[in-house]
Amino acid sequence: MIESLGWACGLAPRVHLLYPKVRFRGALKGACVMKSRRASAVGGVVAATGLLLAFGAVLPTSAMAAARHTSVSTKHKGPYKIGLSNTFIANEWRVEMENLLKAGASQAPYNHEVQLHIFNSGNTVSDQISTIQDMISAGYNAILLDATSPTALNGVIAEAHRRGIVVVAFDNTVTSPYAYNVNVKQGPMGSIGARWLVKQLHGHGNIIMNRGIAGSPVDIGRYNGAMSVFKKYPGIHILDQIYGQWDDSTTQSAFETALAAYPKVNGVWSEGASTGVINAFLHAHRKFVPTMGGTSNQFMEDLLKYKKDGLTGISVGNSPGMSAVAMKVAVEALEGKHPPKFTKIPVNLATDTQVKDGVNVFPNLPPSLEVNWQVPGFKFTAQEALHG
């Protein structure tokens, strides 16, 4: 906590230079004067968190308004030095996301305009802030990021903006007014599967929910979307919520435990890692139930393979190729073209009756491959999704 406090006190003069009318009061002021005292240290850390998020706890209204409307030119001449700050890399979606970003940067016109560098840090806010600060110091023109938090990066994003650096968040997006965002609408992704599941169960049944990474914007958005549907049906009962982290092995282990605890499961709502769900049912010798899943090649194959055994499902996913769209938005901003602050990516979905060989399932390709690799503005091949 003392280390964090020192950082906050060091940041205070920089904030004062930007906003001379700011007055540091209460906990932060006392903490910076007497940071050896435990009570002040705790107060200072709380205030430091406010600084990190957007200075909202210390800026007067007039300064906050000025911050929202202050415009720093981000127009530059190419070629552009663009960096990706990624965190979690332990699932196929993230691997494919990086591959498709590299593939996009190798296509015209970006192969002449973009010098791409990819950084994978730990899956914590502090790790990602450190990576972004390094990119700011190294003079990057644009920073792409799959965020660890929707709010906790706002301070370092503001710092990048003051340096004239374009910031584009995608997948897990941010609330900073200085960032562009590229994503599907995560709430509808959760509600689409929930509505399908409710229809299959005729409004009554016991459901297990397989979520992603706890606290991530994607997981929160999809969960809230699903619950906005489920709460309308008193006959739907949520037995358990597990966090499979969008990883098949993690999901399978957690789901086997859940199945052992609940003898009557009527449906599954899963953000992804659907192969882990299917394998858990197989290993437990349980009958299949209507299952919402992601867009892995294996899940699509399972929908075909086990249809005769009663498996019904819906595949709902967002393309890992959105990383390339984020790069495109960054280049447009660097060229002074003023792209929209939010670029919407279409949701990919298919029910078990819509799965077709060569269209959304590919038996000759790896089972872990995310089959929804296409995005507007690019043409990718399966090999690019696999290898970049």
CA–CA gap between residue 322 and residue 317 (Å, rounded):
12
What is the side-by-side strand order in the sheet with 267-270? 236-243, 205-211, 267-270, 291-293, 313-317, 348-351
Instruction: Look at residue 22 in the predicted model and tell me its pLDDT.
Output: 40
- The CATH homologous superfamily of the domain defined by 80-184+320-345: Response regulator (3.40.50.2300)
What's the sign of the alpha-carbon dihedral 156, 159, 165, 170?
positive
More confident residue, 50 or 370: 370
Instruction: Look at residue 229 in the predicted model and tell me its pLDDT.
Output: 98
Interval 205-242: pLDDT, tens: 999 999 999 988 899 999 999 999 999 999 999 999 99
Bond preceding residue 79 cis, omega within 30 of 0: yes
Structural contact between residues 142 and 82, judged by C-beta atoms closer than 8 angstroms? yes
Across the range 184-208, mean pLDDT stands at 97
pTM of the model: 0.77
CA 166 to chain centre: 19
The amino acid at residue 68 is R
The reply to whether domains 80-184+320-345 and 186-317 share a CATH topology is: yes
CA–CA gap between residue 65 and residue 61 (Å, rounded):
6
More confident residue, 15 or 259: 259
- The CATH homologous superfamily of the domain defined by 186-317: Response regulator (3.40.50.2300)
Across the range 255-275, mean pLDDT stands at 96
Instruction: Look at residue 11 in the predicted model and tell me its pLDDT.
Output: 40
The token duo for 280 is 């858990």
Backbone Cα Rg of the chain: 23
Residue 205 pairs in a beta bridge with 236
Mapping DSSP to helix (H, G, I), strand (E, B) and coil, where does residue 36 land?
coil
Domain ranges of the chain: 2-69, 80-184+320-345, 186-317
Confidence of residue 72 (pLDDT cuts 50, 70, 90): low
Across the range 313-321, mean pLDDT stands at 96
CA–CA gap between residue 300 and residue 296 (Å, rounded):
6
CA–CA gap between residue 382 and residue 388 (Å, rounded):
9
Interval 329-356: pLDDT, tens: 999 999 999 999 999 999 999 999 999 9
Strands (E), 194-285: 205-211, 236-243, 267-270
Neighbours of 107 (CB within 10 A): 15
Instruction: Look at residue 6 in the predicted model and tell me its pLDDT.
Output: 36
